C-alpha cells in the first residue's frame, strides 16, 4: 500500500473516532451518573462510625460523612472512566496504532474549576468550621490529670484530689479538661467513643477537652475505653482502662465515696 493510501486510511480512522466521541462521552456520563447515585445511596445506608458518645464525636462524624459524600462522585468518575476505557478500547489482537488522543482544553478547564471549588469547600467546611466547633466552649466544668506509664493509666480529679487507676468515671453533659503527662515514654491518650486522641509526652503536659453526651460504659460498649494509641513496648495492647459516663448525681455519689 502506498503512503497516500496509508495516510487516507489514518485520516478516515481519525474522523470516524472523532465522530464517535460525543456518543461515547454521553454514554460515560450516563454510566457515571447512575453509578454515583447508587454509590451515594450505599454510602448513606452504611453505618461507618462506631459508637459515638461525645460532642466531639458528633462533630468528627459529621465531617467524615460530608467528606464521603463529596469524595464519592470523584471515586466513581475514576472507576467508570477507567473501566469504560479498559473494556471499550482494550487491545483486540491487531497491530495497528490506535487513534490519537486529542487534548480537550474545555475538559481540562472544567476539571480544574470543579476540583478547585471542591478543595476550597473542604478547607472551609469541615476544615475551618469544624475546628471552630471543636475549640468552642473553652471553659471546663471538670479537670482530670491523666498520668501514663508503662503500661497503665492513672487519673486524678483535680478539684477533689481523688485518684483512680481502674476506671475513668465521667459525668454526662459536663465539659471535661484532660491534662495529660507521661512518666517514661510517649503514649497516646485515646477514647474511641469520644473521637479524641492526644499524645502523653514525658516532661510535658498536653491537654484536650471533651463533653460526654451519652451514658455508657466499657461493659456494654467496647469503644468506651482509654486506649494507648502509641506503640510503647510489650504491654502496649494491654494499656487500657474502661470509661463510664453517668448522671451527675451518680458521679457526685461516686466521688464522695472515693474520698472527694
Partner residues linked to 157 by β-bridges: 144
* pLDDT, tens only, 57-77: 999 999 999 999 999 999 999
The answer to whether the CB of 156 falls within 8 A of the CB of 181 is no
Model confidence pTM above 0.85: no
What's the rounded Cα separation, in Å, for the pair 119 and 186?
34
The answer to whether the CB of 196 falls within 8 A of the CB of 54 is yes
Q: Which three cell numbers stand for residue 62?
A: 459529621
What's the rounded Cα separation, in Å, for the pair 242 and 219?
8
Assign domain 142-257 to a CATH class.
mainly beta
Q: How confident is the model at residue 235 (pLDDT cuts 50, 70, 90)?
A: very high
Give ranges for CATH 2.60.40.420 in the chain.
142-257
* pLDDT, tens only, 94-136: 677 766 767 778 888 988 998 899 899 999 999 999 999 999 8
Q: Which three cell numbers stand for residue 197?
A: 486522641
Q: How confident is the model at residue 260 (pLDDT cuts 50, 70, 90)?
A: low
Helices 105-122 and 55-88, axial angle in degrees (round to 10):
170
- Report the pLDDT value the prediction gives residue 259, as an integer from 0 to 100: 82
DSSP code of 132?
H
- Looking only at the bridges linking them, the beta strands covering 163-164 and 167-171 are unpaired
What's the rounded Cα separation, in Å, for the pair 242 and 222?
8
Q: How confident is the model at residue 20 (pLDDT cuts 50, 70, 90)?
A: low
Please give the helix or strand (H or E) that residue 177 lies within, else none.
Answer: strand 176-182
Reference 189, options 205, 203, 173, 174; nearest CA is: 205
Partner residues linked to 208 by β-bridges: 178
- Looking only at the bridges linking them, the beta strands covering 225-228 and 206-210 are unpaired
DSSP calls for 180-196: EEESSS-EEEEEGGGTE
pLDDT at 7 over 60: no
Amino acid at each position: 500500500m502506498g503512503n497516500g493510501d496509508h495516510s487516507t486510511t489514518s485520516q478516515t480512522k481519525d474522523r470516524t473516532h472523532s465522530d464517535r466521541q460525543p456518543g461515547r462521552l454521553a454514554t460515560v456520563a450516563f454510566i457515571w451518573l447512575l453509578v454515583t447515585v447508587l454509590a451515594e445511596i450505599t454510602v448513606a445506608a452504611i453505618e461507618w462510625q462506631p459508637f459515638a458518645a461525645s460532642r466531639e464525636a458528633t462533630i468528627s462524624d459529621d465531617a467524615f460523612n460530608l467528606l464521603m459524600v463529596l469524595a464519592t462522585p470523584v471515586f466513581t468518575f475514576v472507576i467508570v472512566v477507567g473501566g469504560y476505557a479498559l473494556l471499550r478500547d482494550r487491545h483486540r489482537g491487531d497491530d495497528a496504532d490506535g487513534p490519537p488522543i486529542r487534548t480537550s482544553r474545555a475538559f481540562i478547564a472544567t476539571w480544574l474549576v470543579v476540583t478547585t471549588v471542591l478543595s476550597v469547600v473542604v478547607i472551609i467546611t469541615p476544615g475551618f468550621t469544624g475546628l471552630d466547633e471543636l475549640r468552642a466552649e473553652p471553659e471546663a466544668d471538670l479537670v482530670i490529670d491523666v498520668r501514663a506509664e508503662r503500661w497503665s493509666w492513672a487519673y486524678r480529679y483535680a478539684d477533689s484530689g481523688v485518684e483512680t487507676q481502674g476506671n475513668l468515671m465521667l459525668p454526662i453533659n459536663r465539659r471535661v479538661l484532660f491534662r495529660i503527662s507521661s512518666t517514661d515514654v510517649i503514649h497516646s491518650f485515646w477514647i474511641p467513643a469520644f473521637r479524641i486522641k492526644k499524645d502523653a509526652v514525658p516532661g510535658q503536659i498536653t491537654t484536650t477537652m471533651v463533653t460526654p453526651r451519652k451514658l455508657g460504659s466499657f461493659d456494654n460498649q467496647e469503644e468506651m475505653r482509654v486506649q494507648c494509641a502509641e506503640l510503647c513496648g510489650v504491654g502496649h495492647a494491654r494499656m487500657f482502662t474502661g470509661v463510664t459516663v453517668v448522671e451527675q448525681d451518680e458521679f457526685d455519689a461516686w466521688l464522695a465515696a472515693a474520698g472527694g
